Structure 1
Amino acid sequence: MLVVIDMQARLLPHLDGAARLTARAVTLLRAANLLDLPVIVTEQNPQGLGGTADALLDDVRRATVIEKHTFDATLAPAFLDALPPAPATVWVAGAEAHVCVLLTVLGLLRLGYRVELVADAVASRRADDRAVALERARQDGARLTTVETAIFGWLGSFGHPRFRDVLALVK
């Protein structure tokens, strides 16, 4: 399962590397859609931060979108209900790395999930906050990965029937 945290219209412009984050998240979402991987997208207080950014909307249509008011998404009952049973692997991307992403990663780990934090698809307003969040997540048991590593892991081999379609996303 892929979880994309709080990629919201009013938050993204304030993030360090927002354009890169958006591009990497779109690539993940498109690959997940092609490979029928379940996706959860969270929105933190959408009344205040707006909904999911327009750049992601086409790729979010097949996702389960969950409004939350807690920084750790695992404290939201609807989020828990949408997760597969532990110890499934959950890939996590989004914003902000040191707040909602990190706290959700820690919550997933506490619940017994294997967490792959997609390091090149997370951002914070300050680069230092992102760096500390990645290190903290790693120290607490999350595995760091990249968009391409996640996608090729989902494919498994070049013999996958969607290989060429997915390959086009990363070229």
Structure 2
Amino acid sequence: MIIEAERSCLLLVDFQGRLAPAIAEAEQSVAAARRLALAARLLGVPVIASEQNPQGLGPTIDALRDLPELVVAKTSFDASRELELQEALDEERDTVLVAGWEAHVCVLQTAFGLKRNGFAPIVVADAVGSRQPANRAAALERLARHGIEIVTSEMVIFEWLQDCEHPRFREVLALIK
């Protein structure tokens, strides 16, 4: 299945400041998520973020804070349970690219929830993290076993572009280099 920009939405799950110091390789996952979100904005792909208990864990980190069009506060580990997110998701954009923190908790449960609700979640491996690398690895393995595609941010970006003749190709390519 090719990932098409016009059928996609990007969901940034719980990239929050108080989690950052505890996430293994946090900077790399943030860089990949930022690159993906910037490309999404250039290509007309909606960007939504969730924040787990923002009163306790704080807001989305500075590097990503201004990129989503909508930020959904949540208490459920599965962001798809939140009415505000359900209302924001568009059936025309049934492919939901999922990036975020605590791959084995909120990313995993959100991806499963999206699938249960008829969407096609795709988890972006280089844009997810957990406190322990083993938890991240186990989450990606489990997601794949349950039919959820695992990709990288560059795979997504080039599939969104489809062609080097795309009018925004050079701008998007600059995000990768």
1:10-159 equivalence runs, <5 A: 10-60=18-68, 63-85=69-91, 88-159=94-165
The residue type equivalent to 1:164 in the other structure is R
Once the 2 structures are TM-superposed, how far is the Cα of residue 57 of structure 1 from its aligned partner? 2.1
CA distance, structure 1, for counterparts of residue 67 and residue 111 of structure 2: 23
* Aligned-residue CA RMSD (Å): 1.1
Which secondary structure does the structure 2 equivalent of 1:59 belong to? coil
The residue type equivalent to 1:166 in the other structure is V
The 8 Å contact of residues 86 and 111 in structure 1, kept in 2 or not, is answered as: no
Once the 2 structures are TM-superposed, how far is the Cα of residue 87 of structure 1 from its aligned partner? 7.5
Gaps of 5+ in 1: none
Taking every aligned residue pair, what percent have the same amino acid on both sides? 50
Once the 2 structures are TM-superposed, how far is the Cα of residue 86 of structure 1 from its aligned partner? 7.0
Deviation beyond 3 Å, 4+ runs, structure 1: none
Corresponding position: 1:162 with 2:157: no
TM-score norm. by structure 1 comes to: 0.95
Gaps of 5+ in 2: 1-8
